[in-house]
Amino acid sequence: MTVKSTTPFSVKAVMIDLDGTMLDTIPDLAAAVNTMLKALGQPSLDESLIRTFVGKGIHNLIERSLTGRMDGVPEKALFDRALPLYENAYTALNGRHTTMYSGVLEGLNELRARGFPLVCVTNKSARFTLPLLEYVGLASYFKAVVAGDTLAQRKPHPAPLLYACEQLGVEPSFMLMVGDSLNDAQAARAAGCPIFCVNYGYNEGQDVSQLDVDAIVGSLVEVSARITRHDSVC
């Protein structure tokens, strides 16, 4: 259930998801998927379908794309052929067709101006995350980046969020997570962090209004308007 209270949340720092929250990376992901499928002699998929497959990392995206189903499991030999094809294609395309969502730059600037340390917490592997943040000009906003392979666990496991809290020395109850999906909501609840979700993004094609979050916002600018800076922030 979404909390309807408009009382500002008192937080010390903010964690922000990448794909579907700050950046629309689907055009790059879809192009890489279809490059992979073409190399395998399989028909291409519509970008709208691939959009619903995004949300639980590369392996799930490839499995779903090879089978055309959310719960699809391809033969191991086919997956093993597909994985390097996809990774090579995405490495070449990373950021080229990506767009930044409205309000992201303004929201990040406002959060930084108000003294909130920022961390990017994503399930995207570091070899793709770090170049992408540099390419779109967002790298300098973040005190730390927790990628999908920084730890053994990824969202919805709470470990990446708790690790981000440790990196900044912030208690989970004062570390806001901003995301776009069930992964983000479950990770935040398990970690004991407040959670806002944007009303756009991916969430595997599901409606974010059904998620257990503290607020649903229309942009990162709205995030800044919904929080206050805890007195003990340095």
Do 76 and 132 sit in the same domain of this protein?
A: no
| C-alpha gyration radius of the chain | 18
Say if 102 falls within a structural domain.
yes
What is the tally of structural domains in the chain? 2
Q: Are 126 and 91 in contact (CB under 8 A)?
A: no
* Structure confidence by residue, pLDDT tens digits, 45-83: 999 999 999 877 889 999 999 999 999 999 999 999 999
Residue 193 has pLDDT above 80, yes or no: yes
Strand order in the sheet with 195-198: 144-146, 118-121, 13-16, 175-179, 195-198, 215-217
Of the residues 93, 124, 139, the one at which a domain ends: 93
Do 168 and 119 sit in the same domain of this protein?
A: yes
pLDDT at residue 3, rounded to an integer: 44
Do 103 and 208 sit in the same domain of this protein?
A: yes
Q: Which of 17, 19, 24, 180 is catalytic?
A: 17
Say if 2 falls within a structural domain.
no
**Residue 61: domain span:** 26-93
Q: Are 148 and 158 in contact (CB under 8 A)?
A: no
Say if 234 falls within a structural domain.
no
Whichever domain contains 71, its CATH number is 1.10.150.240
Do 150 and 221 sit in the same domain of this protein?
A: yes
pLDDT at residue 49, rounded to an integer: 95
Whichever domain contains 184, its CATH number is 3.40.50.1000
* Structure confidence by residue, pLDDT tens digits, 102-128: 999 999 999 999 999 999 999 999 999
- Does the annotation count 17 as an active-site position? yes
* Structure confidence by residue, pLDDT tens digits, 22-44: 999 999 999 999 999 999 999 99
Which residues of the chain form beta strands (DSSP E)? Answer: 9-11, 13-16, 23-24, 99-100, 118-121, 144-146, 175-179, 195-198, 215-217, 227-229
